[in-house]
């Protein structure tokens, strides 16, 4: 009867074994551990250099004396195991900026600071690329004459002048406003609006208006 080593299962893949090493401290055989060290090094190099995959591959080739193709395989597996560093950092930063902007928006809204609200909405819009076309949809501007851009104030949508622009522009502006509102509605940040409104309510006066 053939016994299976404790650090391996019959249907295990190399990736699964190394992943289990980090999750549950499972043992690895010497060959697997060498690969794990390379993957860990690839991830560390990506963090330190903050450069391209090519820069990381060159460093891996020099440090471990492996082929270029093997270096790229290690980089790919490192990203899969530990996460794509650049994407993770960018998403984390976008989330942080969005949450702070939402908090600023609500504080400005509670004080009826329309300029502050406009600035906060602008930050939310830019952080989440709401001012850009969907990358999966062909850009109509490439087959149409250039469209003049407008600088809009925060309360322009509610003004009488909003209806003076063409319907297509109205629909696009309302689409962006709706997306921003969805982000605000889904936010987990504490609702400062009620807090500030309650704190600013003056004491009630007697019915005759005398103190």
* 193 C-beta neighbours (distance < 10 Å), count: 13
User: pLDDT confidence of 49, banded at 50, 70, 90?
Assistant: confident
- Which long-range contacts does 181-184 make (Cβ < 8 Å, 24+ apart)? 183/98, 183/102, 183/124, 183/128, 184/102, 184/105, 184/106, 184/124
Q: What's the sign of the alpha-carbon dihedral 36, 42, 46, 47?
A: positive
Comparing 202 with 125, the larger pLDDT belongs to 125
Q: Please, what is the Cα angle at 77 between 21 and 33, to 5 degrees?
A: 40
* pLDDT per residue as tens digits for the range 135-169: 545 555 555 555 444 555 556 677 776 777 778 87
Q: Please report, for the chain, the start and end positions of each structural domain, with discontinuous segments joined by +.
A: 14-83, 88-130+150-199
Both tokens assigned to 132: 């850009």
Angle between helical axes of 192-199 and 85-110 (0-180°, round to 10) = 20
pLDDT at 30 over 90: yes
Mean pLDDT value across residues 84-109: 75
DSSP letter at 2 equals P
pLDDT at res. 38: 94
Comparing 169 with 75, the larger pLDDT belongs to 75
pLDDT at res. 89: 63
> Please, what is the end-to-end C-alpha distance for the chain in angstroms?
97
- What is the pTM assigned to this prediction? 0.41
CB–CB of 150/169 below 8 Å? yes
pLDDT at res. 124: 83
Report CA Rg, the chain: 28
Both tokens assigned to 25: 């401290």
């Amino acid at each position: 009867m053939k016994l299976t080593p404790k650090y391996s299962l019959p249907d295990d893949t190399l990736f699964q074994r190394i992943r289990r090493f980090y999750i549950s401290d499972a043992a690895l055989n010497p060959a697997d551990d060498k690969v794990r060290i390379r993957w860990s090094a690839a991830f560390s190099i990506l963090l330190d250099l903050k450069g391209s995959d090519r820069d990381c591959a060159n460093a891996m080739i020099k440090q471990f004396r492996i082929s270029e193709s093997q270096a790229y395989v290690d980089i790919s597996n490192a990203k899969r195991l530990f996460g794509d560093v650049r994407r993770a950092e960018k998403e984390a930063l976008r989330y942080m900026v969005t949450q702070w902007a939402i908090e600023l928006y609500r504080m400005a809204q509670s004080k009826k600071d329309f300029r502050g609200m406009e600035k906060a909405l602008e930050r939310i819009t830019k952080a989440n690329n709401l001012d850009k076309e969907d990358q999966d949809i062909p850009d109509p501007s490439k087959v149409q004459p250039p469209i003049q851009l407008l600088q809009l104030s925060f309360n322009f949508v509610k003004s009488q002048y909003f209806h003076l622009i063409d319907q297509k522009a109205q629909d696009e502006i309302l689409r962006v406003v709706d997306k921003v509102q969805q982000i605000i509605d889904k936010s987990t940040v504490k609702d400062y609006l009620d807090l500030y409104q309650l704190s600013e309510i003056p004491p009630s006066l007697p019915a005759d208006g005398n103190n």
